[in-house]
Amino acid sequence: MSASDTPKRSMRTPLGRVRNLGAAHSGTSDFWRQRLTGVAMTLLIIPVIVVIMMMLSSNQAGAKVILSSLPIAVILLLFIFASAWHMKIGMQVVIEDYVHNEKVKLVSVMLNNFFAIAVALASTYAILKLSSGV
């Protein structure tokens, strides 16, 4: 029996080989989600900068007028969601890679999720409140 006849050994479990996942069990999906949100933010940053520049010289009443436009509110909301999701994924990858204590890692990931949700909800509330004129 030659060396080419021996079967290749793998460190992966049979289930891991079937699902084709790495050690973190979500690497490729996180990678593509990170890229997707990055592209979304890249496409949305120009309109967001234009809106911000329009609001620089206005007061709160002027900001309400600018934000009362449905397309502007939608662009800002999409940017907020993409940014919060991108932030959550990026920070989770850092936590998973550099925090070695499992309990601290679990608490850190949970706090990261809560923080990203809180930022997205607070920003969404602010945009909807200003755009609705309430």
User: Domain containing 58 — which CATH number?
Assistant: 1.20.1300.10
pTM of the complete model = 0.74
Return d(Cα 121, Cα 124) in angstroms, integer.
Answer: 5
In a domain, 6, yes or no: no
Mean pLDDT for all residues in the chain:
86
Which residue, 5, 89, 1, 96, is CA-closest to 40? 89
Residues 6+ apart with CB under 8 A from 88: 112, 113, 116
Residue 127 in contact with residue 76, Cβ under 8 Å? Answer: yes
In a domain, 112, yes or no: yes
Range of the domain at 107: 26-132
The count of structural domains within the chain is 1
pLDDT at 89: 95
In a domain, 21, yes or no: no
Model confidence pLDDT, tens digit, residues 71-124:
999 999 999 999 999 999 999 999 999 999 999 999 999 999 999 999 999 999
Q: Is the pLDDT of residue 7 over 90?
A: no
In a domain, 45, yes or no: yes
In a domain, 54, yes or no: yes
pLDDT at 132: 82
Residues 6+ apart with CB under 8 A from 44: 75, 78, 79, 82
Give the burial class of 76: count Cβ atoms within 10 A of its Cβ; 0-12 exposed, 13-18 middle, 19 or more buried: buried
In a domain, 7, yes or no: no
Return the DSSP state at 6: S
